[in-house]
Amino acid sequence: MRITGGIARGIPLKVPQKTTVRPATDFLREAIFSSLGPIVQDASFLDLFAGTGAYGLETLSRGACLGTFVERDRKTILTLKDNLAAVAKSLQCDPGACECISKDVLNFTPKNEQRFDLIFIDPPYEMSRDGIEPLLEKLPAWLTPTETARIILEIPGELPPPLISGLEPLRTLGKASANQPCAIIYGKTS
């Protein structure tokens, strides 16, 4: 697993041993960022269920200015911090521009009404199947009030895109089959 584009392209990402982390595939991340295009430049991001930090780190590599990672597993967050340090070194920037929060995503609320241009959410597949609607209901309030603000949700391909109030699915990427990941990119409705 590696960073697929931007200045830190090719930097390998560590995956913690003996955890339930399911890192986003290089192929799916490339497809997502190709679809997002230039809106990543100077964006702020929130990476929920961050795991290795692949989505947020890819965003940094492609020009984002700051971000927040939320991951509840303490062992995994240590690996994420190592990955952040490696990417920041490649970018010649301070890893302090990003915050790593060790907390259950379901209990997370951004500080000081902070808002984000991009929100990545890659929950465990069991949670995607059992219902993540209560979390999805909160997300629109955490987006910046711009036309280019996006939520990117990774779920098993066999599931239909969940509804998110005030947002519409703009694009679905990946395979629509069991246990294959797909990503839905949501944007504001007109």
More confident call, 152 vs 4: 152
pLDDT at 83: 94
pLDDT digits (tens, 9 = 90+) for 87-117: 999 988 888 889 999 999 999 999 988 999 9
Q: What is the pLDDT of residue 118?
A: 97
Which long-range contacts does 90-97 make (Cβ < 8 Å, 24+ apart)? 90/7, 90/8, 90/11, 90/61, 91/7, 91/8, 91/60, 91/61, 93/60, 97/65, 97/66, 97/67
pTM above 0.85, yes or no: yes
Q: Compute φ and ψ for 128, nearest 5 degrees.
A: -60, -40
What's the pLDDT tens digit per position in 80-92? 999 999 999 998 8
Average pLDDT over residues 41-66: 94
- Domains of the chain by residue range: 26-188
Q: What is the mean pLDDT of residues 171-182?
A: 81
CB 145 within 8 A of CB 177: no
Residue 158 CB neighbour total at 10 angstroms? 13
| pLDDT for 177 beyond 90 | no
Q: Is the pLDDT confidence value at 53 over 90?
A: yes
Whether 17 has a pLDDT exceeding 80, the answer reads no
Superfamily of domain 26-188: Vaccinia Virus protein VP39 (3.40.50.150)
How far is the first Cα of the chain from the last one, in angstroms, to the nearest whole number? 37
